[in-house]
Structure 1
Amino acid sequence: MRQKRLLYRCVELGESYRISFYGCKNCQNSVTMRIYVSEMRINCAGESGNVYRVLIVDDEKVERTGLRLLLGKMDQKFEITEAVNGKEALEWLSCNRADILVTDIRMPFVDGLELVEQAARLYPDMKAMIFSGYGEFEYARRAMRFGVEEYILKPVNPTEFQNAIKKILRVLEESKQEKSRKQTEGSLFKEYILNAIFNGTDAAELEKRAAGIYPMDFLDSYRRLMLLEVSGDFFENKSGQLLGGLKIAGLNADYLNVSPQQGILLFKSESDEWKETARRVLEILEEFGGKDAKCYVAVSSSLKNRSQLAERCRETELLMENRFYGLDSHIFMAEYDVECADDVQLDDSTLIKQIRQDVRTKDMLSLSEHVDRLFHNYRQNVGFSQIYVKFVFSSLLKVLYEAIPGKNDRNLNEEMEMLYRTADIDEIRRIIEKNIQLLEQETQTDSGNIHQEVEEVKHYINTHYGEEISIEMLAERVFLAPSYLSTIFKKETGQNLSKFIKVCRMEKAREMLEGTKDKIVSISEKVGYPNVSYFCQSFREYYGMTPQKYRDQGENAEQDAEQDEEAVALG
C-alpha cells in the first residue's frame, strides 16, 4: 500500500522548492523534483484565505458540538479547533493562530472576557465573538472594549449565529484586501524611490515627494549593494528565478530592476564574508543564465545611512566597468582584505592592468580611483620593503609617461631617480599625481572629438529606441571599442549607456500614453520591450505607477480641465 504525505503551506511567487515523492513504506527509492513558482499563488489549509481558522471555547461539549455543526452547514470552509476553557485556549494560541475566536464567558481558570483580552494582545487582527447566557450591559460593554465583533445570547439562534459569522468574514476579507492594497502601494512606492535615487534624483526632492505618503526610513536599513550583470535579457525573463534561487540559498535581499542586463540587490545585514556571498550569487546567475551567459557581480563598500546610496550605486557602476579589462575574475569588490604579500602582488598586477586601460581610454575618473586603491594597499599593509613599493609605483610612472606627449626617456629617468630617493609614500604620491594632472590636461584637447561621438550615439538611441540596442553595436557604429565608448559616454553625460537607453524608452512610452490611443502592448513593442510584462514592471519602477494608471490619470485630468472650461464659458 502506498504511503501518502501531504505538506500544507503557502507558496510564494518567485520561490523554488524541492519536493520528494516517496514510494511504498519499505521502499528506499524516491524521486526529487525542483519546481519554480512563477505565475500563481496557492492558498492551502491552515492559512487565512479560502479556509478560515476558528477556535471554539466552551466548557460544555454539547455547545461546542452545536457550534461546529452550524459552521459546517455554511457555504464556507473552516478549520475548527476546540478548547474546553480559556486557559487551554491560550496555550493553543501561544503557538497557533486563529482568524475567529468564538467563546463563552463563564468558564473555569480563565473566563471568556480575559481570554479575549489576552488573545487580542497576541493577534490584534483576530476577530472575536462572545456567546453567553448573561445579557448584562457590563459584560457587553467590556466585550466591546476588547474589540469583540459580536455578542450573542444563549440559547444560540442558528440564523443569528450564521449571520454574525458572515459579518465577521466580510470584515476579515475587507481587512485582508486593505492590507494587500497598502502592501502593494508601499512596494510600488519603495521601488519608485529606489529607482529615482539610482537615476540621480536629488534625495531632498524625494523626501518632499514622499512626505505623508510613505516613510523613507527603509532606506537607512540597507548595508551593502550588489550590482549584477548578465549578458542577454536575463533580468527581463529570469528575475523571478534569480529571486527563487537566492531564497533557497538563504540570501535575503531586496531586488531592483535596472535594465534587461542589470539588476541590484540591497542587503539589510552586514557580513564578514561578502566575497563568499558574491560567489554564491554568481553561481545562481550562472545556473539560470546558461553556459553561454557572461555573469558579473560588483559589491559596494558598506553603507551607514541613506545619504550614501547614490554614491554606492556609482561605486558599483565603476567596479562593473572592470569587466571590459578581460580579467579572469567575475567578482569586483570595493573592499577586500589582504592576507599575504602574494595577494597584494596579484592585486597590483590587476590594478596596473586596469590603469593601463584607463590611460589608453583617457578615463581620468577611473584612473584616479584605481591609483587611489593602489596607494590604499600599501597604507594598509606595512610588511613590504621600500624597494618593492617604489618598484610598483615606478611601473605606474612609466605607464603615465608613455601617454604624455613631449615626455622623453631623460625626463622619465630623472623622475624615476626622484621617486627612488623619496622618504615616504606621500612623496611618491605627489610625483604620481603631478603626472596624472599633466595627462588630464592633454585629454582636454580631445574633448571635441569625444563630444561628437557621444552625440552620434545619443542621436541613434533617440531615433532607434524601438529596436534592439547593445553597447557592442553602438561602439561599432562610431568605430570605438565598447569599453572606451562606455567610458566616454559616462564621462560626457553622467549616465551609463544602459541607463540612458532606459530613460529614453520610458520618456517615449510616457509621450505615447499621453498622446495616442495605442494599446499598452503596442506601446511596449514600439519602445523596444517585446515582453509587455517587463515593460510594465520597468515603467512602474520608473514613474511609480503602471502604464494604465498613468494613462487613466491623464484622461481624468483632461476631463476635469474640459469641465472647468465649460463652467467658465457658462459663467
Structure 2
Amino acid sequence: MYRLLVVDDEAIIADGLYEVLLGVPNLELDVYKAYSGQEAMKLFDKTRFDIVLTDIRMPEMDGLQLLENIRAKWPRCRVIFLTGYHEFSYVYTAIQHECVNYLLKTEGYDKVIQTVAQAVSDMEAEWRAEALLEQAREQSEKAKELLRKDFLYGVLRERIEAGEISGEQFAELGVPLRAEEPVLLLLGRVSGLTDCGTYSSKMKQLYRVRTVARTYIESRAAFVDMVHEQYDLVWLLQPLQGSDDAAEAAQEAWAGLSTFLKGSLELVQAACKESSGAELSLVLDDSPVAWGDAAERFAQLHMLMNYRIGRSHGLLLDKQAARSDRDMDNQKANKLRVRPAVLDLLTEQLEHGRKDDFARTLDESTAALREVDTMHHAGAQELYYSIALLFLSYMNRWQLTEQAAAAIGLHKLMRPAEHESWTNAIGYLGKVGVVLFQLQNQEEERRANAVVATIQKHIQAHLHDPNEISLVRLAELAFFNPSYLSRLFKQVTGINLSEYIAEVRMTRAKRLLEDPNLKIQEVAERLGYGTATNFTRSFRKAMNMTPQDYRASIVNK
C-alpha cells in the first residue's frame, strides 16, 4: 500500500482530490489531505509518504519550500505539482529535481489518476533497477564477514542443514576453506576477561589474541577465526593446499598440520602473555572431522574446555591426550543429552509456529531414549527434563498453563516416573507439543480478532473525523506498523480497511438519510466528508443514486 498526501490551501480542491484518489481501484492508496504546507510537514513528522500531490502556489509555505522540506525528511518521495498555465516558468525550477512531476489544474481527475499511477509504476520499477541491485551487492560485500561468521557458527550449532555446506556457498560467503574436505577445530579462552574493563576493552583484548594467533598459523593453515559466546575463540583449520592425490598424501598433510599447530600454539600462548599479559588456554581436536559432524565434535571440545580445564590457565590440551575411561563413559552419556543448540532450535520452532519442523527435531533429539530400559536412568531423565522445562517455560510465558492442563495431564510433565516407559514418555512430549501449537493458533486468532474489533469500534465512533480513521492513526492505536495493520485487517475480515470504512459510512449514511430533518450537509459532516459535494460523489458511486434520490425512495415506500 502506498501513502499519498494531497496538499492545497483551497479546501474544495483538497477535499475533491482526496475523495477521488481514495476510491481509485488497483492502486491500494492510503490517502491523506492537508490544507497548508505546515500541516503537511506535521504529517511527515509522523509517517512516511510515497507520493505528494500539492499546489505550487500556497501562502506561507509554497510548493517549492514544501519540496525542500520533504527532501530533507524523505528523499525518495514522489512530488506532483498542480499548476496553472501562467505558472509554468515557476514550476520549471521544481521539475529539475529528481522524482518530481507536474499537472495543469485544467487537466481533470482522469489525468491526476493517470499521473499518480505512473508514479507508483516508477517506484516499483526503481526497486527493481540495476542500480539498487548493485547497491545491495555492495552492502552484501560489507556484511560478508558477519554473514560468514553467522554461517559457520550455524554449522557448529547445527542450525545449518548439511546440504547448505558446499563449495558454492563457501565461495559466495568468502570462506577460505574447502567444503569437500574435513576441518580441524581449535578452541581458546582468555582467562580473567570477564572481570576486567569495559566491553570494548575485552573485545580489543580478543582481537589482539586473534592477531597474534594469525601471524603464527597463516603460514601453514587456511583458517577462519571467530568469537564464540562473547569471550571464547574458535578456529576452523585446514592444510593450505587441498590434496587431490592419494589418501596417504592427505593423511600426511593433516599430520603435518597437527604437529605444526601443537608446536606453534605454545608460541602463541607465550606471545599473548608477553604482549598483553593474557593467559590463553587452548583445546585442539585430535583429528579432522567432516563438516556434517563438526557440531558434535564442537560440543565435545566445548565441554572439555569447560570441565577439564576449569580454573587452570595457559593450558594447551589436545582431545586425545585428555581422554580417560571416564571421558569414554561421558561420550556414551552424551547421546542422551540435548545440546543447547537443539534446545534453542526447539524453542525457536515452537515460538514461530513451525509445527512440522518442531516434531521432526523433537523426534530426532529423543530417539536415544527408546534404547533405555529403566525409568531411573540419570542421563535419560536429564534429556526428558530439558524438553519438559522448555514446554513449561513456554506455557508460563504465554499464560497457557490452565488451558493446557486438562488436555495434556500437566501433572505428568515434570514427573517422568508417571510414564510406563521412555517410549510412552516420548509420545507424551509429542502430544504436549501438538496441544501447544493448537493453543498457539487459537491465541493468535483471538489476539487478531481483538485488535480488529478495537479498530472497528474506533472507526464507528469517529466517522466524523477523517484524521482519527486514517491508517496511521489506527496503527498507532494498535501499536502496529500501518502496513502490517492493513494486512492483518484484511486477513481477519476479508476486506481492505478502506473498504470497511466505506461500508460503515454508507450504512451510517442510509440511516441518517432516513431522518428528513437532517440536511445533506449535516449528514456529510457526521460522516467525515466535509462537504455535501464530496458526500454526494461518494454516495452516488456506491449506491448508483444521489443522497436526495435515496431519501426520496424511502419517502415513497
> TM-score if structure 2 supplies the norm length?
0.35
> TM-score if structure 1 supplies the norm length?
0.34
